[in-house]
Chains A and B, each alone.
Chain A
Amino acid sequence: MNELNALFHGFSVVLTPMNLLLMFVGITLGVLIGVLPGLGGANGVAILLPLTFTMSPTSAIIMLSCIYWGALFGGAITSILFNIPGEPWSVATTFDGYPMAQDGRAGAALTTAFTSSFIGALAAVVMITFLAPLVAKFALKFGPPEYFSVYLLTFCSFVGMGKGSPFKILASMAIGFALAAVGIDTVTGQLRLTFGIHELMRGFDFLIAVIGLFGIGEILLSMEEKLAFSGKTGAINPRVVLDTWKQLPKYWVTSVRSALVGIWMGITPGGATPASFMSYGLAKKMSRSGPKFGTGEMEGVVAPETAAHAAGTSALLPMLALGIPGSPTAAVLLGGLLIWGLQPGPLLFVEQKDFVWGLIASMYLGNLAGLIVVLTTVPLFASILRIPFSIIAPVIVVICAIGAYTVHNAMLDVWFMMLFGVVGYVFKKLDYPLAPLVLALVLGDKAEDSFRQAMLVSQGQISILWSNPLVGTISTLAVVLLLWPLLSRLLAKVRQPKPKQFAEEQPVD
Chain B
Amino acid sequence: MEPIDTSGSQPRRGVPTHVVEAVVAFVVLIMGVVVAQGSWKLGSGWTTDGPGAGYFPFYIGLILCIAGAGTMYQALFGKKKNTAIFVDSEQLRRVLSMLVPALVYVLAVQLLGLYIASAVYIALFMVVLGKYSPLRGVSVGVLAMALFFLMFEVWFKVPLFKGMFDPLRFLGY
- Chain A residues within 8 Å of B, Cβ to Cβ: 50-51, 53-54, 165, 167-168, 170-171, 173-175, 177-178, 181, 185, 187-188, 190, 192-193, 195, 216, 219-220, 223-224, 226, 388, 390-391, 393-395, 397-398, 401-402, 405-406, 409, 411, 414-415, 418-419, 421-423, 425-427, 429-430, 448, 451-452, 455-456, 460
Chain A residues lying within 8 Å of B173, measured Cβ to Cβ, are none
Known contacts A167-B67, A419-B4: does B161 contact A409 (CB below 8 Å)? yes
Main secondary structure of the interface of A (DSSP, over half): helix
Known contacts A390-B125, A394-B126: does B98 contact A402 (CB below 8 Å)? no
Determine which of B70, B109, B132 lies in contact with A401 in the assembled complex, contact meaning CB atoms within 8 Å: B109
Chain B residues lying within 8 Å of A397, measured Cβ to Cβ, are 102, 105, 121
Report yes or no: B158 in contact with A406, Cβ–Cβ below 8 A: yes
Chain B residues lying within 8 Å of A187, measured Cβ to Cβ, are 50, 53
- Interface magnitude class on chain B: 35 or more
Report yes or no: B109 in contact with A220, Cβ–Cβ below 8 A: no
Report yes or no: B125 in contact with A168, Cβ–Cβ below 8 A: no
Indicate if B167 sits at the interface (CB-CB under 8 A): no
Known contacts A175-B28, A192-B38, A394-B122: does B158 contact A51 (CB below 8 Å)? yes
Indicate if B97 sits at the interface (CB-CB under 8 A): yes
Determine which of A165, A394, A422 lies in contact with B4 in the assembled complex, contact meaning CB atoms within 8 Å: A422
Known contacts A193-B39, A414-B109, A456-B50: does B60 contact A419 (CB below 8 Å)? no
Smallest distance from the beta carbon of A179 to chain B beta carbons, Å?
10
Report yes or no: A174 in contact with B38, Cβ–Cβ below 8 A: no
Report yes or no: B4 in contact with A452, Cβ–Cβ below 8 A: no
Report yes or no: B50 in contact with A455, Cβ–Cβ below 8 A: yes
- Give the most central of B21, B57, B105, B158: most A CB within 10 Å: B57
Known contacts A181-B57, A405-B160, A418-B103: does B118 contact A423 (CB below 8 Å)? no
Chain B residues lying within 8 Å of A425, measured Cβ to Cβ, are 7, 95
Report yes or no: B60 in contact with A401, Cβ–Cβ below 8 A: no
Report yes or no: A190 in contact with B42, Cβ–Cβ below 8 A: yes
Report yes or no: A401 in contact with B94, Cβ–Cβ below 8 A: no
Smallest distance from the beta carbon of A281 to chain B beta carbons, Å?
22
Chain B residues lying within 8 Å of A419, measured Cβ to Cβ, are 2, 4
Report yes or no: B109 in contact with A411, Cβ–Cβ below 8 A: yes
Chain A residues lying within 8 Å of B99, measured Cβ to Cβ, are 220, 421-422
Report yes or no: B60 in contact with A426, Cβ–Cβ below 8 A: no
Of chain A, the residue at the smallest CB distance from B123 is A394
Chain B residues lying within 8 Å of A394, measured Cβ to Cβ, are 121-122, 125-126
Indicate if B172 sits at the interface (CB-CB under 8 A): no
Chain B residues lying within 8 Å of A398, measured Cβ to Cβ, are 114, 118, 121-122, 144-145, 148
